[in-house]
Amino acid sequence: MKTDIILAGVGGQGILSIATAIGVAALKNGLHVKQAETHGMSQRGGAVVSHMRISDKAIFSDLIPEGKADLILSIEPMEALRYLPYLSETGYIVTNTTPFKNINNYPELEAVLNKLGSLKRVVAIDADGIAEKIGSKLSSNMVMLGAASPFIESIELSSLEQGIIELFTSKGQKVVDVNLSALRSGKEFAEKTLN
């Protein structure tokens, strides 16, 4: 089985923490992984993307071909739309609804959300709101990962939890717990939306 994920966001938002958690989980399951990242100039508040590929067979390209992504996981709503050419006919979009406005010509948020709403198979989630409720705004990326978890079929939730534990252990048990509960809240939200 193969899962191709486009991770999108803005430089500085930390999409790589999501990628790392997925990567650790995939390795624990003995899967092949390739993950192309954006380093350099764009990390200064530009659009950044990571192509994450997980498979039980060897993976060739570091880049996902257009029309082949199973999932667009975006922590910024306009950025989710930027990668539509990559989404497969049966792929899902899981996106945060909080805009990151560091450009003057950022479109009307309502128009962005309407556009997202007009697409099929979209989970739009207020990850920042949910993260705040849990008690740490910083955990919003793990809320996003939780919301995306039902669509990453090759990896069980428990492996993602393992990934989070590895990622945050050095920061103490409290941080680990917050992020684990963020993961679960995100998952619950996505499942509710789907049903």
Backbone CA torsion sign across 116, 185, 6, 92: negative
Q: What is the rounded distance in angstroms from the CA atom of residue 103 to the CA atom of residue 81? A: 16
Closest contact distance (angstroms) between CB of 69 and another protein is 8
| Other CB atoms within 10 Å distance of the CB of residue 46 | 14
Closest contact distance (angstroms) between CB of 155 and another protein is 15
10 or 134: CB nearest another protein: 10
33 or 157: CB nearest another protein: 33
Closest contact distance (angstroms) between CB of 167 and another protein is 13
Residues of this chain that interact with another protein (CB under 8 A) are: 10-11, 23, 27, 32-47, 51, 59-63, 65-69, 78-79, 81-82, 84-89, 91, 102-107, 111-112, 115, 119
Closest contact distance (angstroms) between CB of 166 and another protein is 12
Which DSSP letter does residue 137 get?
Answer: G
28 or 184: CB nearest another protein: 28
**156 exposed, middle or buried (CB, 10 Å; 0-12, 13-18, 19+)?**
middle
The closest of 124, 121, 74, 64 to 100, measured between CA atoms, is: 74
